[in-house]
């Protein structure tokens, strides 16, 4: 047999071989084994409201540390109004404000016309995609649209239709806040790399950077006489859901939250599946699972939703995380403040039950 024939037979055998690795060669199997052995030192196990509040104080301090902490001093907001547009049922302001030294946030404030006096307001955070334009009714060409297109379904407008003002902010590394190289690749490309990697080099995280933008958005709300800073909510899908969950867990000024397409176990989503680097908090599994972070929101209203066909935040992980979170709400005697919906779709904003649930709590 010639060398060429031997080589051909070897290649054919390789192509026909089972490509499933042995368990000890599979990195996901190893990662899940490590999860089974993870310390999770601050898992919730309280049985009384006072013990649960003490647990929250301890875990909240740890989570703030793990996401990289926040600036000890705040620069002036230096808010600038860029544009105002009038629509039949609401007005839309385009503005910027300073978050950190050297960092500005672009935002849209949508105010319904039917509400007099100080208005409750939702801070709205989009997920991966075109960014904030895609939740306030602006299409790929910068034109106003009337249909709620895309997987995010203009959810800021959905709250405006409920009589709630919406402060929709552009997350760092999305849409209007990208570096030129990534922006040139198209409207759906993001700058999570290199930005999330840069945050890690400083011992910080993209989750921390974005959550702080939400906190500064609330600082801005507090300067507005037409907005009610005591009735502030936060909502987001996917990466925006990540930001919403952590920001609400860490900032108790947020009175209600809706998390779409994110709540799961860390084990079943970002530990086991390929996700953007902006999802990761180094060391968090030494202390807590995602349901514990969600438990920091209790007893404030929280609504979570997911799709039956969501492949990146799988349904079994959602159900496990929701069950664990519900036990925390039970200890606080606040089960009615936790809501959920599993819709038949994929990784999309649904809002059928969640938007009215949160709107009713903020309108009081």
Query: For position 61, which CATH number holds?
Result: 3.40.50.1820
Give 62-100 pLDDT, tens digit per residue.
999 999 999 999 999 999 999 999 999 999 999 999 999
Of residues 23 and 305, more confidence is placed in 305
Give 309-334 pLDDT, tens digit per residue.
999 999 999 999 999 999 999 999 99
Joined together, the tokens standing for residue 167 give 């402060």
Structural domain contains residue 21 = no
Residue 290 has pLDDT above 80, yes or no: yes
Q: What one-character-per-residue DSSP string does 49-88 give?
A: HHHHHHHHHHHHHHHHHHTT---SS------EEEEEEE-S
Structural domain contains residue 163 = yes
Give 153-206 pLDDT, tens digit per residue.
999 999 999 999 999 999 999 999 999 999 999 999 999 999 999 999 999 999
Structural domain contains residue 134 = yes
Structural domain contains residue 209 = yes
Residue 9 has pLDDT above 70, yes or no: no
Cβ–Cβ contacts within 10 Å for residue 276, how many?
19
Q: What's the pLDDT score for residue 20?
A: 67
Strand order in the sheet with 227-237: 80-86, 90-100, 103-112, 165-169, 119-125, 227-237, 256-260, 302-307, 338-343
Q: What's the pLDDT score for residue 364?
A: 80
Structural domain contains residue 95 = yes
Q: Which pLDDT band, with edges at 50, 70 and 90, does 21 fall under?
A: low
Work out the mean pLDDT of the chain and round it to a whole number: 94
Cis amide leading into 238 (omega within 30): no
Mean pLDDT computed over 46-68: 98
Residue 3 has pLDDT above 60, yes or no: no
Q: Which long-range contacts (CB under 8 A, 24 or more apart) does 238-241 make?
A: 238/127, 238/128, 238/262, 238/347, 239/125, 239/126, 239/127, 239/128, 239/171, 239/174, 239/276, 239/278, 239/279, 240/124, 240/125, 240/126, 240/127, 240/171, 241/125, 241/127
Helix (H) or strand (E) holding 360: helix 354-363
Q: What's the pLDDT score for residue 1?
A: 42
**DSSP-derived pairing of the beta strands 119-125 and 103-112:** unpaired
Structural domain contains residue 201 = yes
Residue 17 has pLDDT above 80, yes or no: no
| Torsion sign across C-alpha atoms 253, 297, 280, 130 | negative
**DSSP-derived pairing of the beta strands 90-100 and 103-112:** antiparallel
Give 91-139 pLDDT, tens digit per residue.
999 999 999 999 999 999 999 998 678 999 999 999 999 999 999 999 9
Mean pLDDT computed over 238-261: 98
Domain count, the chain: 1
Chain centre to alpha carbon of residue 209: 12
Whole-model pTM over 0.85: yes
The percent of residues above 90 in pLDDT, for the chain, comes to 91
Residue 19 has pLDDT above 80, yes or no: no
Q: What's the pLDDT score for residue 12?
A: 42
Joined together, the tokens standing for residue 41 give 């030192």
Structural domain contains residue 7 = no
Q: What's the pLDDT score for residue 260?
A: 98
Residue 242 to residues 102, 276, 354, 363, Cα–Cα distance (Å) = 24, 12, 17, 25
Q: What's the pLDDT score for residue 37?
A: 97
Residue 2 has pLDDT above 50, yes or no: no
Structural domain contains residue 3 = no
Q: Which pLDDT band, with edges at 50, 70 and 90, does 143 fall under?
A: very high
In terms of residue numbers, what domain contains 191?
Answer: 28-363
């Amino acid at each position: 047999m010639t060398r060429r024939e031997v080589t051909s037979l070897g290649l054919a055998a390789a192509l026909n071989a089972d490509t499933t690795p042995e368990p000890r060669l599979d990195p996901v199997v190893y990662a899940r084994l490590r999860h089974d052995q993870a310390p999770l030192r601050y898992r919730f196990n309280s049985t009384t409201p006072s013990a649960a509040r003490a647990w929250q104080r301890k875990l909240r301090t740890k989570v703030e540390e793990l996401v990289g902490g926040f600036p000890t001093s705040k620069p002036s907001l230096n808010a600038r109004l860029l544009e105002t547009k009038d629509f039949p049922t609401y007005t839309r302001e385009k503005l910027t404000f300073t978050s950190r030294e050297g960092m500005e946030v672009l935002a849209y404030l949508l105010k319904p016309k039917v509400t007099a006096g100080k208005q409750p307001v939702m801070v709205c955070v989009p997920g991966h995609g075109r960014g904030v334009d895609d939740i306030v009714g602006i299409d790929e060409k910068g034109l106003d649209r009337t249909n709620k297109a895309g997987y995010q379904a203009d959810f800021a407008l959905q709250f405006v239709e409920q009589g709630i003002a919406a402060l929709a902010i552009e997350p760092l590394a999305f849409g209007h806040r990208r570096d030129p190289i990534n922006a040139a690749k198209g409207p759906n490309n993001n700058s999570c790399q290199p930005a999330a990697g840069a945050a890690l080099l400083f011992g910080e995280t993209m989750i921390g950077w974005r959550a702080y933008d939400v906190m500064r958005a609330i600082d801005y709300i507090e300067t507005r006489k037409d907005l009610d800073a005591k009735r502030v909510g936060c909502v987001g899908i996917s990466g925006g859901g990540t930001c919403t969950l952590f920001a609400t867990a860490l900032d108790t000024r947020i009175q209600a939250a809706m998390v779409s397409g994110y709540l799961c176990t860390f084990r079943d989503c970002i530990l086991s599946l390929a996700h953007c680097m902006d999802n990761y908090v180094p060391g968090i599994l030494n202390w807590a699972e995602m349901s514990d972070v969600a438990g920091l929101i209790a007893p404030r209203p929280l609504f979570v939703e997911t799709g039956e066909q969501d492949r990146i935040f799988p349904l079994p992980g959602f159900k496990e995380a929701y069950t664990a979170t519900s036990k925390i709400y039970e200890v606080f005697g606040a089960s009615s403040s936790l809501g959920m919906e599993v819709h038949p779709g994929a990784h999309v904003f649904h809002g059928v039950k969640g938007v009215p649930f949160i709107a009713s709590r903020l309108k009081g």
